[in-house]
Amino acid sequence: MRRKLAAGNWKMNGTTASLVEIEKLLETHPDPACEMLICPPATLIAQVAWRCRAKHLKIGGQDCHWNTSGAHTGDISAPMLADAGATYVILGHSERRTDHGETDAMVLAKTEAVWAAGLVAVVCVGETERQRDLGATLPVIGGQLDTSLPAGGTADTLVVAYEPVWAIGTGRTPTLAEIAEVHDYIRATLVARFGDEGTGVRILYGGSVKPSNAVEIFAVSNVDGALVGGASLKATDFGAIIDALSAA
């Protein structure tokens, strides 16, 4: 059985004033049936992790460097994230691929660094609108999985997030059949690559998930949770998504 995961990616949003949303979430969801994860900006990780110590809300980073330390101004390493209290790290988000030119090879190196630090990697894949229009969605996703994931992925160390680039922050989502097609394909690819462990790797859907569409998305085959952007910033919205996942 795969434990469902509701993950919030705060992106470049949030200051200490936003900690009140974490407090609300902990109050309203003391014992959720799914796993809850928030990936705040790096400036808040240590504070949020301290507040959540021994609680059921996990904390993650949004990126890391592939080296453990050194002359990389502005970067953060996986051991640093672990030291701050993170247990997950999002890698290869399309915004990093676009804004920072991240390649699959970099994502692979970062994933290895995350595993070496004892953290769980949430590796993002997804097609652009043009690639979908060209009918290239599955080959694109397959290529990203082949070259972004190192050998040795396990159910405990790897989560894959399918985030169609054109659905991020746009209010648009693929049809349920399109989500099922991609998630089933990702599952088959993970099983072919990692055997039994591939069966246990959780596959999240991300891209304009909100309380109003969460129930139907969570009913789709091989959707084990969501990676939520905008709707994770408010405890009421993220809480409703958590409730939908818990009931799925």
Is 65 tagged catalytic?
Answer: no
Near ligand 13P by CB under 6 A, which window of 16-24, 101-109, 186-194, 228-236? 228-236
164 sits near ligand 13P (criterion: CB under 6 A)? no
CA 46 to chain centroid: 19
Kindly give the pairing relationship between strand 158-162 and strand 120-125.
parallel
Near ligand 13P by CB under 6 A, which window of 29-37, 109-117, 140-148, 206-214? 206-214
- Between CA 180 and CA 26 the distance in angstroms is 31
Near ligand 13P by CB under 6 A, which window of 102-110, 134-142, 204-212, 239-247? 204-212
Q: Which helix (H) or strand (E) holds 192?
A: helix 176-194
Quick check: helix, strand or coil at residue 64?
coil
Nearer to ligand 13P, 194 or 233 (CB): 233
Q: What does the angle CA 35 – CA 224 – CA 196 come to, to the nearest 5 degrees?
A: 105
169 sits near ligand 13P (criterion: CB under 6 A)? yes
Residues 59-85 as b/e (b if ≥16 CB within 10 A, e otherwise) read bbbbbbbbeeeeeeeeebbbbbbbebb
174 sits near ligand 13P (criterion: CB under 6 A)? no
Helices (H) and strands (E) in the chain, counts: 11, 8
Is 100 tagged catalytic?
Answer: no
Rg (CA), the chain: 17
Identified binder of ligand 13P from the candidate list 4, 5, 6, 9, rule CB under 6 A: 9
Nearer to ligand 13P, 153 or 230 (CB): 230
Look up residue 69 and give its two tokens.
């330390």
Near ligand 13P by CB under 6 A, which window of 134-142, 161-169, 191-199, 211-219? 161-169
237 sits near ligand 13P (criterion: CB under 6 A)? no
Identified binder of ligand 13P from the candidate list 209, 223, 240, 248, rule CB under 6 A: 209
Q: What is the largest CA-CA distance in the chain?
A: 48
- Enumerate residues 6+ apart whose C-beta is below 8 A from 239: 24, 25, 28, 29
The count of chain residues that interact with ligand 13P, using the rule CB under 6 A, is 14
Identified binder of ligand 13P from the candidate list 60, 229, 235, 242, rule CB under 6 A: 229
Binding site for ligand 13P (CB under 6 A): 9, 93, 163, 168-169, 206-209, 227-231
Catalytic residues: 93, 163
